[in-house]
């Protein structure tokens, strides 16, 4: 299989194998938090299949919901028709949406994955500016940010590795230092806040939106930061007539120990993007939750010279199977208090990881709930990968971000598996350092 894969498949980020010297695991099936390869080897899925499978794999309720939906309606476009799972899921998401200082989120626009939700939010924000005042062609974004890999999402990213190659193609953005960037020193939150104030003071009238990942920048290497930054972002967006976008693609659906990371700050945005865990990781679906005032700007009014519309929508938008999976996921999350389980798992992981904090080979442990980055001291090249490979030898599947090893397990992970996860990581770090 690996030879056939190498001969025929172009993987995201090209072939891992060519730059790690490693061969991909050929995943055959999965059960709960376990991935099983074609040779029957089991790996604890320590990163929830790229941060998605919040309830683990093969949850009977989600499987049953998809099967039942499949028997009724597999697909029907959302452009001009609607369907009951799409309506019910919108209602459920609106009921769950974060509350706080800022507008209520009252409308749901569906997209296919995290990047396409971000893309839709950016287009909504720009078009909102043209329909409510004047064209505001700039976006404010954080350094190190990752919001996806379509061109709009790349433009509001701040990670040179992903963005440098496309710079000539990108939207007009203004980068602000990340409040989570340790290189800024102990005053990083204040420095970033001052920079945001200064940027908005200078360019505010040209800015259609500020986009941030609230509380913790995941793909940047799990860079957590203070809630105050989000309160300031809300205040500055309001003061300058810009929209505030929270990208909760990674942080949403209880990842951080609350349903939304926004809840840690008590702030709501005008647009919230979510994806990944929305279906429990079973099927691709994402959404933009929008405030009523944003939606209203897209309604045709008497006296308009042309009909208003949002010029955007994809073929598989709100696919009924995906909506049914998401509804089942949200039902289970509510019935089993998965948010509470996530908070407890986060606390248990923090306790188990504590001894690693004084390991000479660990530079820093960063965590918000079940989003965890363990930054290891470099030993030669690609230390993060080496640690993940050593963990893989111990039956634990992890993926690094540079030299930060990410732990983002299913929220329902049991105690024994949590022990295995942390023990394998600790042993892997020591093995690589030895």
Which parts are annotated binding residues for pyridoxal 5'-phosphate? 114-115, 247, 314-315
Pairing, β 362-368 against β 138-142: unpaired
Q: Residues marked as binding?
A: 114-115, 146, 247, 276, 313-315, 399
Residue 278 contacts ligand PMP per CB under 6 A: no
Q: Residues marked as binding for substrate?
A: 146, 276, 313, 399
Residue 67 CB, nearest distance to ligand PMP (Å)?
24
Of 212-220, 352-360, 401-409, 418-426, which segment contacts ligand PMP by CB under 6 A? 212-220
Angle at 267 (CA atoms; ends 285, 188), nearest 5 degrees: 100
* Helix (H) or strand (E) segment spanning residue 163: helix 160-163
The contacts of residue 293 (CB under 8 Å, 6+ apart) are: 103, 270
Euclidean distance between CA atoms 58 and 332, whole angstroms: 13
Residue pointed to by tokens 């959404």: 287
* Tokens found for residue 22: 């490693």
Q: Comparing C-alpha atoms, which of 149, 143, 152, 148 is closest to residue 122?
A: 152
Residue 275 contacts ligand PMP per CB under 6 A: yes
Q: In what order do the strands lie in the sheet with 399-401?
A: 362-368, 371-376, 404-407, 399-401
The contacts of residue 288 (CB under 8 Å, 6+ apart) are: 108, 109, 111, 117, 120, 121, 124, 271, 272, 273
Residue 370 contacts ligand PMP per CB under 6 A: no
Residue 218 contacts ligand PMP per CB under 6 A: yes
For helices 320-335 and 338-353, angle between their N-to-C axes, nearest 10 degrees: 70
User: Total residues contacting ligand PMP (rule CB under 6 A)?
Assistant: 14
Please say which residue, 83 or 147, places its beta carbon nearer to ligand PMP. Answer: 147
- List alpha helices for 271-382, DSSP H: 292-296, 320-335, 338-353
Residue 317 CB, nearest distance to ligand PMP (Å)?
15
Which residue minimizes CB distance to ligand PMP?
Answer: 114
Residue 213 contacts ligand PMP per CB under 6 A: yes
Which 123-162 residues touch ligand PMP, going by CB under 6 A?
Answer: 146-148
Please say which residue, 121 or 424, places its beta carbon nearer to ligand PMP. Answer: 121
Residue 209 CB, nearest distance to ligand PMP (Å)?
15
Residue 319 contacts ligand PMP per CB under 6 A: no
Euclidean distance between CA atoms 2 and 412, whole angstroms: 32
Among 247, 263, 375, 417, binds ligand PMP (CB under 6 A): 247
Convert residues 96-125 into a mask of x (bound to ligand PMP by CB under 6 A) and - (unbound).
-----------------xxx--x-------
Residue 216 CB, nearest distance to ligand PMP (Å)?
10
Residue 224 contacts ligand PMP per CB under 6 A: no
Residue 163 contacts ligand PMP per CB under 6 A: no
Euclidean distance between CA atoms 125 and 400, whole angstroms: 33
Please say which residue, 171 or 356, places its beta carbon nearer to ligand PMP. Answer: 171
Residues 69, 72, 75, 81: is their CA dihedral positive or negative? negative
Residue 250 contacts ligand PMP per CB under 6 A: yes
Of 175-183, 196-204, 245-253, 370-378, which segment contacts ligand PMP by CB under 6 A? 245-253
Residue 219 contacts ligand PMP per CB under 6 A: yes
Residues 326, 290, 212, 231: is their CA dihedral positive or negative? negative
- CA 145 vs CA 118, 178, 222, 285, 394: distances in Å: 13, 8, 11, 22, 32
Radius of gyration from C-alpha coordinates of the chain: 22
Please say which residue, 85 or 114, places its beta carbon nearer to ligand PMP. Answer: 114
Note whether 284 and 113 are within 8 A (CB): yes
Q: Where are the beta strands (DSSP E) in 302-410?
A: 362-368, 371-376, 396-397, 399-401, 404-407
Residue 153 CB, nearest distance to ligand PMP (Å)?
6
- CA 399 vs CA 98, 275, 372: distances in Å: 30, 20, 12
Residue 406 contacts ligand PMP per CB under 6 A: no
Of 19-27, 84-92, 168-176, 244-252, which segment contacts ligand PMP by CB under 6 A? 244-252
Residue 225 CB, nearest distance to ligand PMP (Å)?
14
Query: What SS3 class is residue 25?
Result: coil
Please say which residue, 100 or 218, places its beta carbon nearer to ligand PMP. Answer: 218
Residue 216 contacts ligand PMP per CB under 6 A: no
Please say which residue, 176 or 422, places its beta carbon nearer to ligand PMP. Answer: 176
Please say which residue, 204 or 284, places its beta carbon nearer to ligand PMP. Answer: 284
**Residues lying near ligand PMP in the complex (CB under 6 A):** 113-115, 118, 146-148, 213, 218-219, 247, 249-250, 275
């Amino acid at each position: 299989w690996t030879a056939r894969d190498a001969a025929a498949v172009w993987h995201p980020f090209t072939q891992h194998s060519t730059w790690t010297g490693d061969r991909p695991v050929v995943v055959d099936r999965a059960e709960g938090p376990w991935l099983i390869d074609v040779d029957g080897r089991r790996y604890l899925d320590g990163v929830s299949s790229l941060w998605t499978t919040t309830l683990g794999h093969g949850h009977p309720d989600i499987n049953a919901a998809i099967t039942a939906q499949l028997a009724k309606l597999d697909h029907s476009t959302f452009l001009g028709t609607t369907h009951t799972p799409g309506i019910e899921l919108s209602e459920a998401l609106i009921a769950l949406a974060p509350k706080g200082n800022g507008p209520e989120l009252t409308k749901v626009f569906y997209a296919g994955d995290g990047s396409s939700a971000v893309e839709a939010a950016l287009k909504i924000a720009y078009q909102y500016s043209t329909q409510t005042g004047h064209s505001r062609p700039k976006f404010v974004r954080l350094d190190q940010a990752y919001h996806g890999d379509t061109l709009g999402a790349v433009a509001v990213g701040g990670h040179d590795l992903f963005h440098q190659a496309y710079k000539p193609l990108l939207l007009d953005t203004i980068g602000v230092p990340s409040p989570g960037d340790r290189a800024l020193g102990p005053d990083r939150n204040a420095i970033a806040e001052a920079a945001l104030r200064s940027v908005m003071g200078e360019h505010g009238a040209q800015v259609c939106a500020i986009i941030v990942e609230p509380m913790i920048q995941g793909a940047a290497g799990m860079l957590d930061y203070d809630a105050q930054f989000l309160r300031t972002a809300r205040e500055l967006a309001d003061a300058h007539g810009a929209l505030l976008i929270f990208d909760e693609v990674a942080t949403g659906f209880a990842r951080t120990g609350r349903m939304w990371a926004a809840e840690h700050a008590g702030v709501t945005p005008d647009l919230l993007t979510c994806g990944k865990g929305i279906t429990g990781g079973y099927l691709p679906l994402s959404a933009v939750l929008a405030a009523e005032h944003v939606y209203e700007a897209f309604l045709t009014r008497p006296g308009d010279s042309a009909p208003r519309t949002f010029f955007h929508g994809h073929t598989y938008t709100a696919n009924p199977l995906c909506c049914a999976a998401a509804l089942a996921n949200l039902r289970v999350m509510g019935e089993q208090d998965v948010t509470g389980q996530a908070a407890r798992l986060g606390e248990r992981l923090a306790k188990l990881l504590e001894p690693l904090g004084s390991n000479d080979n660990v530079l820093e442990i960063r965590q918000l709930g079940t989003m965890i980055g363990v930054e290891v001291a470099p030993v030669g090249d690609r230390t993060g990968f080496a640690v993940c490979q050593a963990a893989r030898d111990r039956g634990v599947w992890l993926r690094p971000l540079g030299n930060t090893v990410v732990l983002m397990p299913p929220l329902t992970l049991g105690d024994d598996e949590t022990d295995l996860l942390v023990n394998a990581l600790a042993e892997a770090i020591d093995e690589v350092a030895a």
